[in-house]
Amino acid sequence: MSPPRLIFHCDCNNFFASCECLERPELRLVPMAVAGDTESRRGVVVAKNELAKRRGVQTTDTVWQAKKKCPELVFVPPQHELYERVSKQINKIYLSYTDRVEPASIDESYLDLTGTLSYYGMTAEALADSIRARVRLEVGVTISVGVSFNKTFAKMGSDYKKPDATTVVTEENYKALLWPLPVENMLFIGTAAAEKLKKKDVFTIGDLAALPRERVVKLLGKGGVSVWRASNGMDDAPVRRFADRTEVKSVSRGMTFKRNLIALNEVKQAVAALAGEVAVQLREEKLKGRVIQVQIKTPLLTVYSRQLTLPFATCTQQEIETHALNLIRKNWHVGANAPIRALTVGVTGLVAASEATEQISFLDMFEADVQNSGTGALSRGYRSYAERERREKLEAAVDAIRRRHGENAIIRGNTGNPEIGLAGAWKKKEKGRKEEKASQPQTAWENPPVDESEPAPQCSRSEYSKAEES
């Protein structure tokens, strides 16, 4: 007989703020928040410590709103490299207990510890407490742990009591513990779904669980089956092994043209087509990226590359295309003296799309800086995170139409030019295809080879001093 499932959900408390306190311990003593662009009214709080929370500061508060609530609030800018490094340290601790560790985002992971209690000689709650203590001692941040027999209730358990707490949800107590909670506390139930349910007198998770399954499906659509099963403790989703993750480092598309490109309009068409392919794969993989890359290969087969780091993660063709084209125009004098034989557009610095969304509107956070540098989404006319989100949904809708009706169902007018090898809409690449970085040796654009028959391109570094380079 198989042992009963034992699932932990480990969630870091105030993760970004906690990481900042590791580097600056003095921040533990004052109300502090992680936010961008503190000089702008549009800067947004993405994390805060407990002292700030007690003063009423909330995630998504604008900087001025948070400052009004807590005048002595200390702001610090986000450090994504730091957060990623700390996240890896914490997951390393989890992996010392089990190989079934499934990160759900940068600050939370599921652990499957089924059959391990006899080995450790302690209760599930005691084991969770020991993991919390190790993370606090070895890393310096606190976590909350939900312990249950499935992933859904483990997640709800970690949310039940914070910070630095353990909550055990069993087959015997989940009805008493979770069913009285408001229906919007149920995993997978958003604001709109909750309002729809409340109109039908479904106010608690218990009310939802008590409905016939067919009734829930009628109210919530096909996804209602999963919600109904989860509310009744029937979630049987496995926890994947950490080693089984398919970690995509980058997404890129390249093309060798039928003839050399010397006209800016042709370069624009090529960039649009390549950016579109990259954006589609990012959305298929449920990823977003912060680093836009371009590679140019000359007729002499010399490869030049440049990249730009954005203050936000993106998966839209419009943004990728804009930034890639800006990289080329500012660093490559398109013309007969600088022909382009092949071109690659790529995105790195990838994060899960859900994680990027959870980290709040980086556009709003950094809007002033982005506007000043001319490198951000505002260059496309976006005024807010909501507008960027609408653009993502629009492009996702186009993806769905093409999947159903074929790649030629919707074709952008500037992506087709048979003369250079762009035959209208690009054929869809195999889903999940992962391209490695180009293997050719790369030459810095600042030091191109000298060849009298093929004048080297000129770089305009002064124009592009604000871009992050590698």
- Encode pLDDT of 317-352 as tens digits: 999 999 999 999 988 888 888 899 999 999 998 887
Q: Which sign, positive or negative, has the C-alpha torsion 323, 344, 312, 78?
A: negative
pLDDT greater at residue 419 or residue 64: 64
Q: What is the pLDDT of residue 414?
A: 54
Residues 164 and 200 in one domain: no
From residue 372, alpha-carbon distances to 12, 37, 145, 356 in Å are 34, 12, 43, 23
Residues 261 and 156 in one domain: no
Q: How confident is the model at residue 12 (pLDDT cuts 50, 70, 90)?
A: very high
Whether residue 366 is contained in a domain is answered as yes
**Mean pLDDT, the chain, as a whole number?**
80
Residues 161 and 212 in one domain: no
Assign residue 144 a region (left: φ > 0; alpha: ψ between -120 and 50; beta: otherwise).
beta
Residues 443 and 304 in one domain: yes
Whether residue 242 is contained in a domain is answered as no
Instruction: Look at strands 108-112 and 74-76 and give their pairing.
Output: unpaired
39, 50, 81, 108: which one is catalytic? 108
Q: How confident is the model at residue 302 (pLDDT cuts 50, 70, 90)?
A: confident
Total count of domains within the chain: 3
Q: What is the pLDDT of residue 403?
A: 58
Q: Distance between CA 43 and CA 61 in Å, rounded?
A: 9
Question: Considering only CA atoms, which of 210, 201, 253 is closest in space to residue 228?
Answer: 210
Q: What is the pLDDT of residue 335?
A: 85
Residues 7 and 150 in one domain: yes
Residues 258 and 219 in one domain: no
User: What is the mean predicted confidence (pLDDT) over 76-81?
Assistant: 87
Q: Which sign, positive or negative, has the C-alpha torsion 80, 85, 86, 90?
A: positive
Write down the residue that tokens 């993991």 correspond to.
131
Whether residue 244 is contained in a domain is answered as no
Domain extent, residue 456, equals 251-464
Whether residue 158 is contained in a domain is answered as yes
pLDDT tens digit sequence for 423-440: 543 443 433 343 333 333
Residues 189 and 327 in one domain: no
Q: What is the pLDDT of residue 179?
A: 97
Residues 68 and 197 in one domain: no
pLDDT tens digit sequence for 36-46: 766 655 577 88
Whether residue 428 is contained in a domain is answered as yes
Alpha helices in 96-242 (DSSP H): 117-120, 124-138, 151-160, 174-178, 191-198, 205-210, 213-220, 224-231
Residues 222 and 275 in one domain: no
Whether residue 241 is contained in a domain is answered as no
User: What is the mean predicted confidence (pLDDT) over 352-360?
Assistant: 57
- Pick the range with the lowest mean pLDDT from 143-157, 325-339, 439-453: 439-453
Whether residue 391 is contained in a domain is answered as yes
Q: What is the pLDDT of residue 326?
A: 93
Q: What is the pLDDT of residue 300?
A: 84
Edge-to-edge strands of the sheet including 108-112? 101-105, 108-112, 7-12, 143-148, 166-168
Residues 296 and 203 in one domain: no
Q: Is 108 a catalytic residue?
A: yes
Domain of residue 390, CATH code = 3.30.1490.100
Q: How confident is the model at residue 311 (pLDDT cuts 50, 70, 90)?
A: confident
Write down the residue that tokens 């859904």 correspond to.
152
Q: Which of 330-339, 359-368, 382-391 has the highest mean pLDDT?
A: 330-339
Q: What is the pLDDT of residue 66?
A: 92
User: What is the mean predicted confidence (pLDDT) over 312-316?
Assistant: 88
Question: Considering only CA atoms, which of 163, 112, 139 is closest in space to residue 9?
Answer: 112
User: What is the mean predicted confidence (pLDDT) over 168-195?
Assistant: 93
Q: Residue 470 above 50 pLDDT?
A: no
Q: Residue 125 above 80 pLDDT?
A: yes
**Cβ 28 vs Cβ 74: under 8 Å:** no
Domain of residue 188, CATH code = 1.10.150.20
Domain of residue 149, CATH code = 3.30.70.270
Q: What is the pLDDT of residue 38?
A: 65
Q: Residue 454 above 50 pLDDT?
A: no
Q: What is the pLDDT of residue 42?
A: 56
Residues 301 and 410 in one domain: yes
Q: What is the pLDDT of residue 232?
A: 97
With pLDDT > 70 as the criterion, what percentage of the chain qualifies?
75
Q: What is the pLDDT of residue 380?
A: 43
pLDDT greater at residue 137 or residue 80: 137
Residues 91 and 182 in one domain: no
Q: What is the pLDDT of residue 81?
A: 85
pLDDT tens digit sequence for 200-258: 999 999 999 999 999 999 998 888 899 999 999 999 999 999 887 766 788 999 988 88
- This prediction has a pTM of 0.59
Whether residue 310 is contained in a domain is answered as yes
Residues 6+ apart with CB under 8 A from 323: 292, 308, 310, 375
